[in-house]
Structure 1
Amino acid sequence: MVAACGSTEPRRAIPEGIPPGPGTPVPIIDFNAPGRTADLLVAWAEPQADALNISVPALAAYAHAAAIMADTSPGCGIAWTTLAGIGYIESRHGTYAGSAVAFDGTVAPPIRGIALDGGPGIAEIPDTDGGFLDGDPIYDRAVGPMQFIPETWRKWGVDADGDGAANPDNLDDAALTAARYLCARGGDLRTPEGWERGLMAYNQSGVYLRDVRDASAAYSIGTHA
């Protein structure tokens, strides 16, 4: 078994089954306070960030989204670990190809997916936004750290960082948008059926579901994906 992060200790076994565990409990916060309320979770995120290999602003964004959903949609039960699992698979938590997450949750340079042009193994989605979000006026490209199709973002995108704009390149906004979408499509994500239904709506791939599950389960026991 490979040791984690250069440690001589073997990596802990990742729990099986779905849904993945909820991880470290997220404290109650006043997410109606002014400004970036994900900052209220920095003290919660800092002691875990290194072990999880997730930046503090990214981890706070995932927990922030889960905290909001726990209050506004308690029947969903989405955990921050699931959002972190998606963020890892989609963009390595906003660090894909040299991008980085700023303290306010903004990811730069912006992350854009490949053209969805119907090539081998690729869906064909003609442009839906005139290239406004993805810079491509011919085909759609997934945008931001949670990799939303522009049409999906236009329907579901929400402002979570208090700046008055829904920005797919801001991880606060993207994480809460993903949480809302998963809850709407999956229902109760505390059940195996609900969690699988939500993830398959996000990406219709069994391999994707397994990869997200593995990353989320790692985070649930305090280790990295």
Structure 2
Amino acid sequence: MGGVTHRPRRAAILLSTALAVAIMASACGSSEPPRVIPEGIPPGPGAPVPDIDFNAPGRTADLLLAWAAPQSDALSISGPALAAYAHAAAVMSATAPDCGIAWTTLAGIGFIESRHGTYQGSAVAQDGTVAPTIRGIPLDGAPGVAEIPDTDRGALDGDDIHDRAMGPMQFIPETWKKWGVDANGDGVPNPDNLDDASLTAARYLCARGGDLRTAEGWERALMAYNQSGVYLRDVRDAAAAYSVGAGA
């Protein structure tokens, strides 16, 4: 793994999506022309996120539910999940404006890692919590799998032999212990809460990539999240689709 501390799972969770083909197919019989998915990196920022008071009490991502609602069906992202991504981007815009991370990038990662918290029948509750919890395969050094012996005595990932990636954004325990933050106002950083996981991912990406509005910064951030060119392209494809209002 080199210096990379975050290893999202690479399993059958994630099928590479031929976005342009799927979007054109879905447009058959429609009077609307198919959306053109932009090429290149970074992917577009998508619908602008309104300013919110993220220091208010409670789940401040709720302040973005009205923003999320008109887009939710078209993007195939639940309202609470879309609000979580936008909330994380809004917090970073105010606290780390030089990063420029967009909600579309976070949504692209969320799609690839867990289908926005819906992998294998899980769902995102109104407070952002994903249940049943999502856990990756044991990181036991099997072919194509990193070997990471247990670092948390199973307290976070439920495995006291090897670490497993956790939650909708697939953090390993060691990385979560260093970067995890509370974003839904309950006072507990929880890798199984999409608000917390999205803001944690945003902080990690900004720290690793610098200015994510540049191609170099965005690529550096994504490669730090997962050292795979295929992964980077899959996230880019999903994020680019979201940037023009299409589902991944």
Q: By the TM > 0.5 criterion, same fold?
A: yes
Task: Specify the code of the residue in structure 1 equivalent to 2:44.
Answer: G
Matches of 2:169 and 2:26 in 1, distance apart? 25
8 Å CA contact 2:27–2:34 kept in 1: the answer is no
Q: CA RMSD in A?
A: 1.1
Give the SS at the match of 2:29.
coil
Structure 1 residue 12: Cα displacement: 1.9
Q: Which residue of 2 aligns with 1:104?
A: 127
Structure 1 residue 11: Cα displacement: 3.7
Correspondence 1:142-161 to 2 at 5 A: 142-161=165-184
* Percent of aligned positions that are identical: 80
Q: Which residue of 2 aligns with 1:27?
A: 50
- Give the one of 123, 140, 147 matched to 1:117: 140
Give the SS at the match of 2:109.
helix
Structure 1 residue 13: Cα displacement: 2.4
Matches of 1:56 and 1:115 in 2, distance apart? 31
- Give the one of 171, 182, 185 matched to 1:162: 185
Q: Which residue of 1 aligns with 2:105?
A: 82
Task: Specify the code of the residue in structure 1 equivalent to 2:83.
Answer: A
Matches of 1:14 and 1:179 in 2, distance apart? 23
Q: Which residue of 2 aligns with 1:8?
A: 29
| Change in 2 beyond 3 A, CA 1:7/1:43 | farther
Matches of 2:96 and 2:38 in 1, distance apart? 27
Deviations 1:107-128, CA, capped at 9 Å, x for gaps: 0000000001111111111111
- TM-score of the aligned structures, taking structure 2 as reference length: 0.89
Q: Which residue of 2 aligns with 1:189?
A: 212
Q: Which residue of 2 aligns with 1:224?
A: 247
8 Å CA contact 2:156–2:173 kept in 1: the answer is yes
- TM-score of the aligned structures, taking structure 1 as reference length: 0.98
1:50 aligned onto 2:73: yes
Structure 1 residue 55: Cα displacement: 0.2
Give the SS at the match of 2:227.
coil
Deviates more, 1:42-51 or 1:2-11: 2-11
Matches of 1:13 and 1:42 in 2, distance apart? 27
| Change in 2 beyond 3 A, CA 1:57/1:4 | farther
Matches of 1:172 and 1:21 in 2, distance apart? 22
Structure 2 gaps of 5+ residues are 1-20
| Change in 2 beyond 3 A, CA 1:43/1:4 | farther
8 Å CA contact 2:52–2:90 kept in 1: the answer is yes
Structure 1 gaps of 5+ residues are none
